[in-house]
Every structure is written in C-alpha cells, then in structure tokens.
C-alpha cells in the first residue's frame, strides 16, 4: 500500500473502528491530519501514513482523550518524551476526575429528590421553587444551596426505608439481565452506595452457571486474605456443604500492602494455590498478585478453579490483573479498573450463595446467557 493512493471511502474501510468520511474531514479541519493530495478530479487521496495517523487518533480517542489533547500528543514531537507524555496524561486524568466529581454531585442531588419519601412531596416542591432562585454559580449561591439541602434533610420523615423500592427508582435498565444477576448487582450497589457501579461489573457468560453448579457440589471456597474471609456468610455457605478457607491466613494482615508483601515474601502461599482442589471458587478482594499468580497457574494447568471473583485493590497491578482475568479461559466476576475491594468480592459470593438457597430451582440465567 506504500505507493497506492486511497480514496476517503477506501481509507475509512481500511482504518475501521467506526471511522466515517465526515470524521476524516473534521480531523483535517482540526489539524489532526495533514492536507491530502488531490486527484485530477479534485478527490482527496490518502497514503499509508494517513492510515497509521488515523489509527493512532482512534486509539487515543478510545482511551478517553479529547481531540485537542490528541492533536498536542501527535503533532508536537517534544510531547512524545516519556516525562512530557506522563505530564499530559496526568493533566487529562485530573480534568476527568474533576468532571466525574461534578457529575457525582449532580447524581447525588438527583437521588436526593428522586428518593424522598412520598410524604415529603410538598416539601420537595417547595425546595424546587427555592432552587430556581439560587445563583448556584456564585460562592454565595453554593452556601444557599447547602442550606437548602440541610432544610430538606431536617424535614425527612423518620420511618423505615424501603431499600428495594428506592433502588429500583435509580437503577439503570436491567431488563436484559437474569434475576440472579439482577440480585447480584443490587447487592453490590447496596454494599458501596453507588449505583454507577452497575456499569463497571463484568461477568463471564457462564459465571453464574459455574457458581451454582459447584456450590451444589460442596466445592472449596478460598478467600485471599482474612478480612475477605471474615466478610463471607459462612453460615449459609456451610448450609450448602461448601468449605471455606483463607489463602494467606495471617490475622495481622489489614491492608493491601501487607497482603502483597506477605504473598511475595513467603512462597508457601504460592504452593497453597497450587494445591487447591479442581472446581474451587477463588474470592480475591485484596492482593492483585494473588490474582495474577492464580491466572498464571491456570495457564500452566496447575490450577483449575470453576470461578474467580477477582476484585483486588490497587491502581496499577489491579486493573491489569482484571483485564488478564477477563481475557482468560476461567469463568469470572470482576470490576473494571480500580474499583473493587474485599467487601465487594465477599458480597458477590454471598449473593450467589443466597440466591442458590432462596431460588434453588431457578434456571432463568440459562435463557439470558449471552
């Protein structure tokens, strides 16, 4: 293709990724693409260099970069040094987190109104009228807004809350999920108080099938550390006949750092991983190194878990280990990125155990498999 020129339509087909002629023309206008050569009929002609440039643009877009940032990254040679690139990425990260914080505040405000008790509707309408008068862009307006929220809270009726009803008002559309998965997602949301978590939970196609089958077969359930073990509903697990144990059974471990150091300092834990029974369920909520080591053993056929609930904590190894889990041949339940933790991992397992006890004859998850 080095000496062959492409039309704009041919270019979009070769680059792929949803690229359209309109997008190409827009990138020309923004300076992301150099001006193309022209045919005798005044049609744009493209080369292999343009194909490569467009693939870089789409790759950066897929990671969340704005077009202005992409132009800086690709058009300024000095920006491609590691330090400069890291600085640019850091600025982008802080900008995104600030946007997320503002969106989270907006979501919280909407939740305040949507989840008010029905008996407080008059107060809610009054608050909305007051809200129209608040200049929320000024510092004084923000103080007024805080007082408005405080007033709303002061009028809240003291009565039992119907958590399930409240949750249904703010959950996204889960109609394509089976009842077992809906229950799992609801319990995870209750555990962290953040409905947006639903968008970051990932289950393999047969994760629920594997969990229910092996829990009925008295399987071995293994938590990575004692805090995760402590959060498991061992009474219900024993009711199913399953056995629960801890991999790194040191009661003095209370943090991810301690779990990571302990795992690497003593090879005993790696040997314990190798000795786990086929069909076991791993519940990993702290140490990403445990998850990565388990996956390596799976690849080497030295470990055959039926399911891995992988939600380790961390900002570097944890996201990487979860991606590796999702690309493995093991059935999994995990969370995207840095979200996770021991409580969520334990809640996921507890939800599966609970649904099996409460709905032993439910097979809805079989018809919803994707």
3-state SS record for 235-294 = HHHHHCCCEEEEEECCCCCCCHHHHHHHHHHCCHHHHHHHCCCCCCEEEECCCHHHHHHH
Amino acid 239: pLDDT: 93
Residue 361 is predicted with a pLDDT of 83
pLDDT at 82: 61
The whole-number pLDDT of residue 212 equals 95
CA-CA distance, 223 to 347, in Å (whole number)?
12
Residue 100, H or E segment: helix 82-114
DSSP 8-state class, residue 198: G
Q: Which residues of the chain have pLDDT under 70?
A: 1-3, 75-85, 88, 109, 111-170, 367-370
CB 286 within 8 A of CB 259: yes
Sign of the Cα torsion 90, 91, 96, 101 reads positive
Q: What is the DSSP letter of 202?
A: E
pLDDT tens profile 213-262: 999 998 999 999 999 999 999 999 999 999 999 999 888 887 888 888 88
Closest CA to 223 of 238, 234, 211, 239: 234
Distance (Å, rounded) from C-alpha 8 to C-alpha 27? 12
Give the pLDDT confidence score for residue 138 in this predicted structure. 45
pLDDT at 123: 60
pLDDT in tens, 170-212: 677 777 888 899 889 989 998 888 888 888 999 999 999 999 9
Domains of the chain in start order, with CATH, are 8-75 (1.10.1660.10), 116-159 (no CATH), 173-367 (3.40.50.10230)
pLDDT at 257: 84
pTM (two decimals): 0.69
What distance lies between CA 185 and its chain's CA centroid?
Answer: 12
* CB burial of residue 164 (10 Å; 0-12, 13-18, 19+): exposed
């Amino acid at each position: 293709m080095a000496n062959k020129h492409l039309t704009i339509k041919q270019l979009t087909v070769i680059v792929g990724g949803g690229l359209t002629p309109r997008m190409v023309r827009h990138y020309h206008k923004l300076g992301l693409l150099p001006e193309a050569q022209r045919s005798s009929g005044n049609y744009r002609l493209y080369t292999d260099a343009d194909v490569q440039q467009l693939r870089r643009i789409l790759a950066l877009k897929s990671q969340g970069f704005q077009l202005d940032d992409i132009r800086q990254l690709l058009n300024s040679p000095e920006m491609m040094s590691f330090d400069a690139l890291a600085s640019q990425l850091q600025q982008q990260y802080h900008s995104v987190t600030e946007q997320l914080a503002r969106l989270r505040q907006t979501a919280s405000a909407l939740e305040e109104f949507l989840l008010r008790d029905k008996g407080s509707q008059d107060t809610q309408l009054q608050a909305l009228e007051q809200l129209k008068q608040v200049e929320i862009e000024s510092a004084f307006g923000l103080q007024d807004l805080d007082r408005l929220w405080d007033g709303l809270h002061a009028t809240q009726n003291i009565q039992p809350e119907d958590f399930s009803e409240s949750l249904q008002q703010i959950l996204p559309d889960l109609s394509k999920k089976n009842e077992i998965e809906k229950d799992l997602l609801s319990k995870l949301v209750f555990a962290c108080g953040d409905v947006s978590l639903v968008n970051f939970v990932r289950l393999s196609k047969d994760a629920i099938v594997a969990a229910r089958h092996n829990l009925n077969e008295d399987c071995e359930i293994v938590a990575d550390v004692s805090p995760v073990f402590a959060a498991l509903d061992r009474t219900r697990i024993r009711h199913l006949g399953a056995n629960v144990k801890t991999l790194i059974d040191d009661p003095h471990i209370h943090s991810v750092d301690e779990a990571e150091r302990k795992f690497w300092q003593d090879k005993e834990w790696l040997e314990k991983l190798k000795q786990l029974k086929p069909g076991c369920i791993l519940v990993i909520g702290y140490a990403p190194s445990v998850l990565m080591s388990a996956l390596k053993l799976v690849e080497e056929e030295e470990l055959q878990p039926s399911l891995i609930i992988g939600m380790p904590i961390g900002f570097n190894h944890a996201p990487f280990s979860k991606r590796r889990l999702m690309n493995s041949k093991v059935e999994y339940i995990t969370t995207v990125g840095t979200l996770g933790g021991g409580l969520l991992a334990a809640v996921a397992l507890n939800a599966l155990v609970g649904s099996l006890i409460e709905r032993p004859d439910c097979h809805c998850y079989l018809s919803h498999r994707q």
